[in-house]
Amino acid sequence: MQFSQRLLLKGKPIWEACLEHPFLKELSEGTLKEDKFCFYVKQDYVYLIDYIKLFALGMVKADSLEDIQAFAKCANAIVNIEMDAHTEYAKKFGITREELEATKPNASNLSYTKFMLQVSSEGSLAELVAALLPCMWSYAFIGKTLAKNSKALEHPLYSEWILTYATEEYNKENDWCVKLMDKLAEGLPERQLQKLEEIFIISSKYEYMFWDGCYKKESWVI
């Protein structure tokens, strides 16, 4: 069994729980209140700023030019494509760039990004990938699941969000990261594999907490 399959067995139940969370449940039904989604859009914007840094750290820790180029490609896609797209998408909800930039991370958001940044700064490249992978992988899982049968696809604004994460291009980036995880885990002793698994599970649980914090419009900011 590839190590990524082992991680999938651990992570998928958490991602399925995310799908059952009221935020994504109501989103899938097209009934999620827009103020909750707007809160999410703002929190996701500031989250992505820290998430980009993980790929920069990946470039520093990678040994092969191929991996450096792949991390650079992902970082560039987020910085120069996804962030601009995010800003344009936010405008459709009446959210200005100034509002996005003025957003402070709530407690769940800040705790999540600080966890990933600490693991990525202090740990190995394998640990870095284990920390950042659940975000990419769970979004691909959620996007593809919702795109199969979702009333939200009839929503003039929510449908765009769902289809973004169900695209072939997004899933290619996720597949690259999954394959890299397998490559980095190959030959590692069980003790280290268990540590990678633990990091992966923690990040997956933080994904759930992120949805929960956005649904509750968690107001505590640092």
Please give the positions annotated as active site: 135, 207
Q: How far is CA 88 from CA 26, 41, 155, 157, 214, in A?
A: 23, 11, 17, 12, 20
C-alpha span between 128 and 59 (Å, rounded): 11
Residue 190's CB: how many other CB atoms inside 10 A? 8
- Tokens representing residue 144 in the block: 């593809």
Q: What gap in Å lies between CA 166 and CA 168, rounded to an integer? A: 7
DSSP state of 82: I
**Residue 142 near residue 40 (C-beta atoms within 8 A):** no
Return the closest-CA partner of residue 19 out of 199, 201, 111, 152.
Answer: 152
- 221: phi then psi, degrees, rounded to nearest 5: -120, 155
Angle at 178 between CA 177 and CA 183, to 5 degrees: 95
Distance CA 159, CA 29 (A): 11
